[in-house]
Amino acid sequence: MGWVEQPHTLPAYRRRGLAAAGLAALRRENPGYTWHTLGGHIDGSPAFWDTIGADVPGGYRPRQVCEHVTAGG
């Protein structure tokens, strides 16, 4: 499992493909991993996640939180 803690791009650099390129590089360099993030950000930018997830099996979608994870950590 791969983990991206809090994907974020500074406002001055958004819409330049940097985040998409970074996530694509992680997937390319680590084939076979499933990727997870801290969450909460997918709801705020669904068009971004749909675009970069177009070639990702299953795309990037919110999923159920594991039972061992508690609020705040």
Quick: pLDDT tens for 30-51: 988 887 776 665 666 777 778 8
Say if residue 73's pLDDT is above 60: no
**Average pLDDT score over the chain:** 78
As beta bridge partners, residue 37 has: 4
pLDDT confidence bin for 29, thresholds 50/70/90: very high
As beta bridge partners, residue 39 has: none
Taking the complete model, does pTM exceed 0.75, yes or no?
A: no
Q: What's the pLDDT at 12?
A: 94
